[in-house]
Structure 1
Amino acid sequence: MPDPRPVPSQVSEAVTRGIRVEVMSRHTPEHSQPMQGTWVFQYTVRITNQSEETVQLISRHWVITDALENTESVIGPGVVGKQPVLAPGESFQYSSWCPLKTPTGEMHGTYQMERTNGEQFDIQIAVFALRAPYTVH
């Protein structure tokens, strides 16, 4: 029976409480070693504050799943060593890496944000594909 789930795109977008998260991923063959079972992907994230209040990114929670349904959870403070503060209309962009043991997979997650009044809330990072070229999906 075919898998009923849609195949995610290498681009995703989600807006939660006025905070937009856009992600684009790509395979990086120059860092991958398929013969050793390692495929490396770069993903670039842009977070834009479309709300009326200043927010700070406090922490991240990534859920990474490879083609064999092995799932890893990555939780930590900030992103790329930073906890950016975004005033209304401001954006923060960064790139990072994800190694997989299969040529395809997917990622999604949440960022924990905090308003200047101390209120904390999670924003969604929509699912996006990690996909090496020339693979069957």
Structure 2
Amino acid sequence: MTKLITKGIQISVETFYQREYSNPLMNEYMFAYRITIDNYNGFPIKLLSRKWFIHDSNASLENVEGEGVIGQQPVIQPDEHFQYVSGCSLRTDVGKMHGFYIMENQHSYEQFEVAIPEFIMVCPDKLN
């Protein structure tokens, strides 16, 4: 698990190779990731948007951005967390992702960036 705290918000990431949705003969490797967002501040936050940087081992880079996550813009109260699972398809058996969320302090309405730590996605067959 990878973790990083930015401005009182901890982002934790776990990754999982999705063998049943992958097709190595066609260079299709599917990974799932579970993100946990912990709010250690004394105020509620709202996740407004995200931006991802997705790299594979062919040196290609894909940028993905949009509102919220999994169709939601959750409000996370102090000392609470929000968790979601999403996925990523790569053309190689190794890749990495990182990025940031735009959050909003629900008391002051100030917006700020929260870093998503870099995490690696590796097909288990690659580790043999």
Correspondence for 2:120: 129
Unmatched tracts of structure 2, length 5 or more = none
Residue deviations 1:1-46 (CA, integer Å, cap 9, x gap)? xxxxxxxxxx211101100000000111000011111000000000
TM-score for the superposition, normalised by structure 2:
0.96
Correspondence for 2:61: 71
TM-score for the superposition, normalised by structure 1:
0.90
Correspondence for 2:48: 58
Mapped to 2, the partners of 1:22 and 1:136 lie a distance apart of 23
Counting aligned pairs with the same residue, the percent is: 38
**1:100 equivalent in alignment to 2:90:** yes
| 1:1-137 → structure 2 map (5 Å cutoff) | 11-116=1-106, 117-135=108-126
The count of corresponding residues between Structure 1 and Structure 2 is 127
RMSD, aligned CA: 1.1
What SS class does the counterpart of residue 19 from structure 2 fall into? coil
Moved over 6 A (4+): none
What SS class does the counterpart of residue 88 from structure 1 fall into? coil
Residue deviations 1:50-104 (CA, integer Å, cap 9, x gap)? 1111100000001000011100000000000000001101100000010000000
Mapped to 2, the partners of 1:69 and 1:52 lie a distance apart of 41
